[in-house]
Amino acid sequence: MGWMTIEDLRLNAKGELLSNNLATYKIPDIYFMPDQIDIKFLTEENPMTPYDSKVLGEPPLMYGIGVFFAIRQAMRAFNSQDGFGFVSPLTPERVLCELYRNELQEIAKNNVTSLSLQPSQ
């Protein structure tokens, strides 16, 4: 999940990792976990898979993609007028900048010192 939402690896021109220490790498910790997790076990047999398996694909990859698209849907719910790009990872900083893209561009253009926290129109 990290590479879709929180892990923003940066490389220099030589391909060397720039986010390789605690000052530049956000380590997932206990606060990245939800307060409550509801688990439901599937009880029906699944004869279409080997050994009645109920897993599809690589779970970490699939969960990360689900979280990525859930965040994009939340961004669209906040501002349905804007078409957000398909950029990964959707770090909290990137989400905030996308939600207020027009305001940030206005600040950069006019050196505005205050920001109105309204969705982009």
16 a catalytic residue: no
Q: Please, are residues 18 and 11 in contact by the beta-carbon 8 Å criterion?
A: yes
16, 58, 98, 103: the catalytic one is 58
State the Cα–Cα distance between residues 8 and 88, nearest whole angstrom. Answer: 8
CA 77 from chain centre, in angstroms, equals: 15
* Burial of residue 101, with CB atoms counted within 10 A of its CB: 0-12 exposed, 13-18 middle, 19 or more buried: middle
**Residues designated catalytic:** 58
